[in-house]
Chains A and B, each alone.
Chain A
């Protein structure tokens, strides 16, 4: 059958589930960050697919651009925080980081 809106949405649902699974199960903080990127990408794919199949309305593209910008800022800040945690704990496992102060 010919590829329509549903195909893109199903792919994005699969990506969302995998990203959610990574966020829930992985210990390493950088893996959690990669899961977040997967979830954001699935949302972006939904925006662009709806924009394409809704009379090529480009508002969805604008939303995607803002999501990409925020993802870049979030990745930079998150990695700075992770580096700081690594200097204090010598590991980046999210289940071991439970102190605000030494």
Chain B
């Protein structure tokens, strides 16, 4: 068991435990903070998988952007001093059975399949190659997604504004 495996298992435990806290915590604020550790663990997995650019993107966009947005949403829509922040759940048993079936099937399939894996040697950086294919093969999705982000910005500002 070398160092990479030990790091993998440490972050796997971090991800699974904090994801359990996200799902099962009664306090939504605790869920939001546990989500931060899940996202950090995913970023560490990206580093282990030699995806340095994606790891930084994950930290900046997810933790720096989406998570802050979610915490703003929590604070704007719940009265923190009230009992309103603790929410009951619904449909526990059917959802648990369905989720256990789906998760067990996925784990079994993933674990028992003989994957053809070609483990390439490590590369120094992936950012330059990502930029290259993003501006050659994927130029149309790249432009489309930039237009979509503009639409999303205008739409979010328009929807969130209260009527005068």
Q: Are A66 and B145 in contact (CB under 8 A)?
A: yes
A51 to B155, CA, bound (A): 34
Interface string of B76-116 (1 = CB under 8 A from A): 11100000100111111011101110110011001101010
For chain A, residues 63 to 90, give those with C-beta under 8 angstroms from any C-beta of chain B. Answer: 64-66, 68-73, 75-77, 79-84, 86-87
Which residue on A lies nearest to B39, using beta carbons?
Answer: A41
Which residue on A lies nearest to B152, using beta carbons?
Answer: A73
Q: Are A16 and B35 in contact (CB under 8 A)?
A: no
Q: What is the predominant secondary structure among interface residues of chain B facing chain A?
A: helix
Q: Are B87 and A93 in contact (CB under 8 A)?
A: yes
Interface string of A25-52 (1 = CB under 8 A from B): 1111011011101100100110011011
Q: Across the interface, which residues of A come within 8 angstroms of B8, CB to CB?
A: 3, 7
Q: Across the interface, which residues of B come within 8 angstroms of A31, CB to CB?
A: 28, 31, 87
Q: Across the interface, which residues of A come within 8 angstroms of B153, CB to CB?
A: 76
State the interface size on chain A (CB cutoff 8 A): 71
Q: What is the predominant secondary structure among interface residues of chain A facing chain B?
A: helix
Q: Are A61 and B130 in contact (CB under 8 A)?
A: yes
Q: Are A54 and B118 in contact (CB under 8 A)?
A: yes
Min CB distance, B59 to chain A, in Å? Answer: 11
Min CB distance, A98 to chain B, in Å? Answer: 14
Binding site for B on A (CB under 8 A): 2-11, 13-22, 24-28, 30-31, 33-35, 37-38, 41, 44-45, 48-49, 51-56, 58-59, 61-62, 64-66, 68-73, 75-77, 79-84, 86-87, 91-93, 95
Q: Report 16 cross-chain contacts, Cβ distance below 8 Å, ordered by A residue.
A: A3-B4, A4-B117, A11-B15, A20-B98, A21-B23, A28-B28, A34-B35, A38-B19, A54-B117, A55-B118, A61-B130, A62-B130, A62-B138, A68-B57, A68-B58, A79-B70
